[in-house]
Amino acid sequence: MCNVDENYFKPSIMTHVLLFYCMPGDPRTLPFSDSSFDVVVSAAFVHTVGKEFGPKSAAAAAERMRVLGEVVRVLKPDGVAVVWDLMHAAEYVQRLNDLKMEDIRVSERVTAFMASSHIVSFRKPRQHFVGPGEVRLDWRFNNLC
């Protein structure tokens, strides 16, 4: 849950534009329609998903990839996402490449919470045409393992 001074929102309330919204839920099954958002931001969170399986296990990696798949699913075409995380940047980049995301960028090392971290950003393509011999990937990333 986000606690923000109501005065912070007055400009956005007056123009009927919501700057951001926080709600509880399962990040592996986001309660939003496909292509809902222009921008999605995750800060120091995705690495915590799947910890119950052991952070370095294949099952934990599959859970993290489900979250990343949900981020892609709820992004509008040409939308941008930023995932700042304490671990697993290379894993995220590989999955984003598999999903044919564009403009994938990884920051230099960012020190936060007394730990090294990275910021991964990407853009969802405007359109994707399936070419000969190409299989359309499922954004939801089901059945990884």
For residue 93, give the CATH number of its domain.
Answer: 3.40.50.150
Rg (CA), the chain: 16
Q: What domain range is 73 assigned to?
A: 35-123
Inside any domain, residue 7: no
Residue 143 has pLDDT above 80, yes or no: no
Inside any domain, residue 136: no
Could you give phi then psi for residue 72, rounded to 5 degrees? -65, -40
Report how far residue 5's alpha carbon sits from residue 111's, in angstroms, rounded to the nearest whole number: 28
What domain count does the chain have?
1
Q: What is the pLDDT of residues 86-119, one digit of tens each?
A: 788 889 899 999 999 999 999 887 777 777 788 8
Inside any domain, residue 15: no
Please report how many Cα atoms fall inside a 13 Å half-sphere around the Cα of residue 36, on the Cβ side: 12
Q: Which of 62-76, 103-117, 130-144 has the highest mean pLDDT?
A: 62-76
Range name among 17-26, 38-47, 74-83, 84-93 with the lowest pLDDT average: 17-26
Inside any domain, residue 134: no
Residue 67 has pLDDT above 60, yes or no: yes
Residue 40 has pLDDT above 70, yes or no: yes
Question: One-letter amino acid identity for 82?
Answer: V
Q: What's the rounded mean pLDDT across residues 33-59?
A: 86
% of the chain with per-residue pLDDT over 70: 72
Of 1, 141, 139, nearest to 76 by C-alpha is 139
Inside any domain, residue 70: yes
Confidence (pTM): 0.72
Range name among 26-30, 50-54, 109-113 with the lowest pLDDT average: 109-113
DSSP state of 2: -
Residue 52 has pLDDT above 50, yes or no: yes
Q: What's the rounded mean pLDDT across residues 27-49?
A: 88
